[in-house]
Amino acid sequence: MGDGVRAHVVVAATLLGNRIHATGNDAVFTQGLVDRAFRFGGTYYQNGITPKGPLEDVAADIARRLGGYDGHWYVISVMIAISGALIAASAARTSLTTGATRVIAFAVAAAVYVHFTLSDAAYAGLLYSRNILVTLFAAAWMLTLDDRPWVNPRTRMPVAIATGALLGLGAQTILPSFLDATAIGIAALVLVSTRVEEPEARRKLRITVAVSAFAAFMTAPIWYLLRGSFSEFWASWWTYASYQSAGIGISTGQEIARGWHNAYIYYQHRPLLFAVLGAFVVVTIVGWPGSTARCALRTSRCSGGSRAAGSS
């Protein structure tokens, strides 16, 4: 079988084949919330209780409208393929930023795409809230790492708005992910200093990222407040989620210790993956000064070219 045929098989399998795998427990529950809203009216949170933000419900709602009741899971399967493609593109951008060639970046993207769509890994081939969350953060990370839109005065403001919005929607989806969003946001704000020379422009971009993230985060509470169903939304999104968090009966320190223990067990069975992650951290730390210098050089060249164009 040729490479082209293999690629077509993978694409066909991910676009349509995940319709069966996609029917996980959470996904079927979400489909039920959407179907109830279609039949009886009201909002998602008035038709059921869920401790997560509305994006998973919105995805199921779009699938219901586009594919109908019978074609719902086909549309979800296409969404899973799009999610995998965005995560793969983010992995490729990360590889390029750390000095990999385009061939290696493409290989990384292909492996990541297959892993998140066709592998037997937990949550692969699904469109749960955490899959949507990872997709949003991967897209934000991809925008954060790419110098070109931040250096260009015409595109830097839209990319700042998009980066903030992706982080805000991600934090809204699952509340503990606020820490992940903060880490990516800090990276975006710090990298602005190496990409933009003008202090006023840097300040405006940083404020834009922060305001955009906050505005996106607040869309769900404000929407349900305006709909008159804020109490149902708050009872699920905050109260029920807080009960779930407290229900396990352990402190924050114990939660961190358990996470460390689970990570140790996970990587103990996957030493190669641990070695790859360790190598990535070492290469990034060692190559960071040179990467910063190259970024500054590209910024100065672009700024110089823009001034030259303006003067001509």
3-state secondary structure labels for all residues of 271-301:
HHHHHHHHHHHHHHHHHHHHHHHHHHHHHHH
The residue whose two tokens read 């903060």 is 182
pTM: 0.83
The encoded tokens of residue 19 equal: 């319709």
Q: Please give the pLDDT value at position 20.
A: 82
Low-confidence ranges of the chain (pLDDT < 70): 1-13, 288-312
Do residues 84 and 116 make contact, with C-beta atoms less than 8 angstroms apart?
Answer: yes
Q: Please give the pLDDT value at position 15.
A: 73
Q: Please give the pLDDT value at position 31.
A: 93
Q: Please give the pLDDT value at position 306.
A: 46
Number of Cβ within 10 Å of residue 114's Cβ equals 16
Q: Please give the pLDDT value at position 162.
A: 98
* Number of Cα atoms under 13 Å in the Cβ half of residue 262: 6
The encoded tokens of residue 195 equal: 């990409």
pLDDT 10s digits, 222-262: 999 999 999 999 999 999 988 888 888 888 888 889 989 99
Q: Please give the pLDDT value at position 98.
A: 81
